[in-house]
Structure 1
Amino acid sequence: MITLQKGPVHIGGITLHNHLILAAGVLGTTGASLGRMLRLGAGGVVTKSIGPEPKAGHSGPCLIPLNGGLLNAMGLPNPSRDYLDEITHLRDEPVIISIFGGTPEEFGEVASWFADTAVGFELNLSCPHAEGYGAAIGADPAIVRACTEEVAAYGIPTWVKLTPNVTDIGVIGRAAEEGGASAIVAVNTVRGMRISIDLRRPVLGNRFGGISGPMIFPIALRCVYDLYDACSLPIIGCGGVSSAEDVIEMMMAGASAVQIGSAVYDDIAIFEQIAASLYADDGLAADEIVGCAHA
């Protein structure tokens, strides 16, 4: 298998320890859990999404395992501004703050709280199960551009996480690029649901949620491929990555790095395991394979 060179990488304005990043919403609720994932081999970590007001999230059940993935509807639970206290001791680490809002102004307000401590922001314009937030506004190119402009104005690297639940993800990616994004993260979960036959009702408390895990990897890969042709920004692939082979495939589609989320559910040491197969002293420079499937 193809292997990569070891060492720090600089992507979208942020220096990472390696190409493997903890995705938002997975063990990102506390500074302690983020620090733990860095010690376990993550090259960078993304926090739980933080919004303008504290949210308790949706009523349960909020997470169920599927064959080949997970289905969740957490509802963006977060402590809002109080989260700042969780990450002050990680100031020197590659911790990206995931933020959300219902308007460009709300995105800007949340970003202002972390402007002195964040190495970068990730705009959650893609959560499929939070009314008035995420994908509810992230499918509109004009809103995506406006939200990106609001946060990018702080001069801090601004990554924009996109939803796959659109007709043309390239249009949304170009809107983020026009708004001043430093990188694009593709993608968030795919909207879906399950129904309990015995109870005759949806399994999730919110009825529908987002599917993640290996079953959506081909969808995420296609989105990365499309965005590579549509935009000139670095792309961080996200969705079902669980092996070194998946990382290489994402890179060949156009990703410069990847995020890993659901795979942590099965194996807390997933970053170390992937890195052991992905990196070698005689490995290739990542630039040699990023986007090569487009040739």
Structure 2
Amino acid sequence: MERLAVNLAGVTLKNPVMPASGTAAYGQSMAQQLDLGALGGLVIKSTTAEPRVGNPRPTTAPTTAGWLNAIGLKNPGIDNVLAEKLPWLAEHYPELPIVGSVAGSIFDEYVAVAKKMTTAPNVKLLEINISCPNVDHGGLAFGTDPVVVKDLTQAIVAVVDKPVFMKLTPNVTDIVPIAAAAEAGGAAGLTMINTLTGMGIDLKTRQPILAHGTGGLSGKALHPMAVRMIHEVRQQTKLPIVGVGGVFTPEDVLEFYLAGANAVQVGAATYGHPTACTDIIAGLPAAMDKYGMTSLSDLIAEVQG
């Protein structure tokens, strides 16, 4: 539907809704629940150079207005993704734009995985997950240091031929300098926000409810913070922004647009409700009619100038 179409750094999406990284893995399971071809795009699970088994269980737990998770970047590694996962998507959904999510624990791993990921024809955009602990710098996330963000963005952009979106962590005092660093490094766009670090404690065992201790908070609790951060960053940049955090309804999508987003990702809403993405897509035209919004491209022009 033309009124839902959006352009992300030269890549046209027929609608703005994608599952957030990790929530659809590599698409095979979600394809049993809904038509992946109805999505605006598919963000694959964050992928590293070598396979990772992830953290010990329990890795997820419900909490106030959301979920805590500490999956630990469980994935089969970039070579398997290139050999099996992405070809399966290309065969069954040849028109579906894929966003390749890249992760790592050292600087060079990010660059190497990004370079390999961009060779897949159906990967149209790269999303760089910079919420990972930086082994070379004492475990602080890559995305908390503007200098590291700029240098990493620059290094990845230099070796790939597809648009690079940096996925920003909200676990910083001020997200605007991080966004500015990504832009200075040559990012084509931003994805924001990743999960907030949280913890739950079991009153009976007196131990953390996640085996890892802390985890990322996702869900409805995240939405107002994501709206605020997108709005702050939009005041300082013209880069396209993919909004993620607590999107459960078409109205949540439109709120992100009014804050300055160009597309959205849906994560926690799919837990227990696997058709959340397509339900939101189906409900968008009526929500837009209700609020006098002709098309998403017009709304972007109105908000962003």
Task: Using structure 2 for the length normalisation, give the TM-score.
Answer: 0.87
User: Can you give the 5+ residue segments of structure 2 that lack an aligned partner in the other structure?
Assistant: none
Aligned partner of 2:119 in structure 1 is: 116
The whole-number CA distance in structure 2 between the counterparts of 1:172 and 1:142 is 9
- Cα distance in structure 1, aligned partners of 2:140 and 2:21: 15
Q: Taking structure 1 as reference, are residues 293 and 285 closer, same or farther at Cα in structure 2, changes over 3 Å only?
A: closer
Aligned to 2:61: 64
2-structure distance, mates of 1:125, 1:135: 10
> In the alignment, residue 16 of structure 2 is paired with which amino acid?
H
CA 1:111 to 1:62, structure 2 compared with 1: closer, same or farther past 3 Å? same
CA gap 1:233/1:143 in 2 versus in 1, 3 angstroms? same
Q: 2:16 matched to 1:10? A: no
Other-structure match for 1:195: 201
Which one-letter code corresponds to 1:285 in the other structure?
Answer: S
Mapped to 1, the partners of 2:257 and 2:109 lie a distance apart of 33
**1:189–1:211 contact (8 Å) kept in structure 2:** yes
Cross-structure match for 1:82? 80
Distance 1:175 1:157 in 2: 16
User: Is contact 1:224-1:255 (8 Å) kept?
Assistant: yes
Task: Give matches, 1:104-183, under 5 Å.
Answer: 104-117=107-120, 118-127=123-132, 130=133, 132=135, 136-153=141-158, 154-183=160-189
| Residue aligning to 1:248 | 254
Selected match of 1:53 from 44, 47, 50? 50
Aligned partners of 1:208, 1:115: CA distance in 2, in Å? 32
Of the structure 1 ranges 152-161 and 278-287, higher mean CA displacement relative to structure 2 is found in 278-287
Matched residue SS, 1:166: coil
Which amino acid is the alignment partner of residue 152 of structure 1?
V
Match of 1:94 among 97, 110, 114: 97
Question: Aligned AA for 2:59?
Answer: C
More displaced, 184-193 or 48-57?
A: 48-57
- Deviation (angstroms), 1:21: 1.0
Instruction: Give the drift of 1:102.
Output: 2.7
**Is it true that 1:269 corresponds to 2:252 in the alignment?**
no
Q: Which contiguous aligned blocks of 4+ residues in structure 1 show a shift greater than 3 angstroms?
A: 4-8, 33-38, 130-135, 280-283, 290-295
User: 1:49 and 1:228, CA in 2 relative to 1: closer, same or farther beyond 3 A?
Assistant: same
AA paired with 1:272? T
From 16, 29, 36, give the equivalent of 1:33: 29
* 8 Å Cα contact 1:253/1:291 also seen in 2: no
Alpha-carbon distance between aligned partners in 2 of 1:168 and 1:253, rounded to the nearest angstrom: 17
Write out per-residue CA displacement over residues 246-292 of structure 1, whole angstroms, 9 at most, x where no aligned residue. 01110000001111010001311112221222126975122433386
How far apart are the structure 2 equivalents of 1:69 and 1:263? Answer: 9
Call closer, same or farther: CA 1:181–1:35 in 2, change over 3 Å.
farther
- The worse-fitting range, judged by mean Cα deviation, of 7-16 and 61-70 is 7-16
* Secondary structure of the structure 2 residue equivalent to 1:290: helix
Taking structure 1 as the reference length, the TM-score comes to 0.90
Residues 228 and 291, structure 1, Cα contact 8 Å, conserved in 2: no
Shift of 1:52: 2.0
**Equivalence for 1:222:** 228
RMSD of aligned residue pairs (Cα, Å): 2.4
Q: Distance in 1 between matches of 2:226 and 2:47?
A: 24
The amino acid across from 1:199 in the alignment is T
| Contact 2:5–2:297, Cα closer than 8 Å, also in 1 | no
Deviates more, 1:253-262 or 1:272-281: 272-281
Report the CA distance between 1:150 and its aligned residue: 2.0
